[in-house]
Amino acid sequence: MQKAFGRKKVLAMFLTPALVVYIAFVVVSVVWAAYYSFFDWSGVGEKTFIGIQNYIQLFTKDPIFWKTVLHTIIYTIICVAIQVFGGLLFAVFLTRINKGRAILQTLYYVPVVISSVAICQIFSKLFSVTPTGVVNAVLSNLSSKFAMFEWISNADVSLYLAAFVEGYKYLGLYMVIFYAALIGVPKELEEAAIVDGANVVQQYWKVKIPYIKPVIIANCVLVLNGSLRSFDISYLLTKGGPGNASELMSTYMYKQAFSSMKYGYGSAIAIAIVIICLLIGFVFRRFTERGDENE
């Protein structure tokens, strides 16, 4: 069997289908979007070739796009904080308890399997103003100002709320990955730390977390990619509003292509998203690789 897998032809036979599917659905789509980005096109009818006009408009004359870039970065930072660090924290707590661990693990994981539409419905009811939602009802006990406090339709809050909901939805997923990594840390390391006099915090901070650093980095890359391209939660919960207050690059791209019917311009935004994602991913990898080399 080992011999068979070692053969290049057999390897190619197994890898080619995935590669073909990837090229067909990802690479071709990106190339196709790049092609459309050079046209003024409403999605139907005649296309007019306009060269790089869409990109000039996007990078030099469209202030909303740059706002969406900033929003996306803020959104990503919040998601990384909740999903990676929150997930890690929850995983650490789970490794410290014996009773009811499986139940808690399942409960934390439930939002991951619930659809985004349902999650957004739940949160829009929780944060409702009229009729008063649970959050405002509870907070109004502290101060009557909270009774009519707007969350989803508040330009100062909506972006953070959408990021929180996204973070909440996927926290369980990363928690499970971290938990698996933490229980995989060799017992000898923990025992050696205890013999050296390390307390519980030090065991985690100095031994276990550094040991699972590759998993943390991998999760960071996953969250980074997911958040930079995030669409569903923001669109379903706030529709990018009020105004453009919680508009992300992906929701802006969607609106331009399908609501404004500026398909060519929407394609230019899509290409910009691909480039920005690649750039941030590349910088992050370089940064983390350099950290590894220094160690």
Partner 1 sequence: MRKKRLLAVLLTLVMTASMILTGCSGNSTGDEGGSKKGERKRISVLLRASESHPKYIMLKKLLTEFSEENGLDEPEFELVVSDADYVTKLQLYINSNSLPDIYGGANGALSKAAKDIDGIVNIGEELERVGMKDTMNEAVYDFFVDNEDGEVYLFPECLNCEFFFYRKDIFEKYNLETPTTWDEFLAVCETLKSNNEVPLIVAGQENWQLMRYLSFAPWRVTKDGFITGYMSGEETFGENESAQTGVELLNELGTKGYFQGGFLSTDYTASKDLFFGGTGAMYYSGSGQIQDASAKYDSGELGFFPVPDVDGMENMDTNVPIHGGFGTAFNKGTYDETMQSFFEYMCKNYTRVCYEDAKVFSPFNEEIPEGLDALFYDLQPLFETASDAWVSWDDKLDSATLTSIVDEQQKLAQGTVNLEDFEKTVDGFITK
Residues lying near partner 1 in the complex (CB under 8 A) are found at: 13, 42-45, 124, 128-131, 148, 150-153, 155, 238-239, 241-244, 254-256, 258-262
Least CB distance from residue 215 to partner 1, whole Å?
36
Q: Are the CB atoms for 254 and 231 separated by under 8 Å?
A: yes
- Judged by beta carbon, residue 21 or residue 77, the one nearer partner 1 is 21
Least CB distance from residue 132 to partner 1, whole Å?
9
Q: What is the DSSP letter of 149?
A: -
Q: How far apart are CA 175 and CA 223, in angstroms?
A: 12
Least CB distance from residue 210 to partner 1, whole Å?
44
Q: Phi and psi at residue 127, in whole multiples of 5°? A: -100, 15
Q: Are the CB atoms for 190 and 203 separated by under 8 Å?
A: yes
- Judged by beta carbon, residue 116 or residue 128, the one nearer partner 1 is 128
**Smallest Cα–Cα separation from 167: which of 124, 213, 119, 214?**
119
- Judged by beta carbon, residue 153 or residue 202, the one nearer partner 1 is 153
Amino acid found at 109? Y
- Judged by beta carbon, residue 156 or residue 293, the one nearer partner 1 is 156
Least CB distance from residue 155 to partner 1, whole Å?
6
Least CB distance from residue 52 to partner 1, whole Å?
18
H or E, element range at 161: helix 158-183
- Judged by beta carbon, residue 219 or residue 251, the one nearer partner 1 is 251
Angle ∠(59,271,20) on CA atoms, nearest 5? 170
Q: Are the CB atoms for 237 and 161 separated by under 8 Å?
A: yes
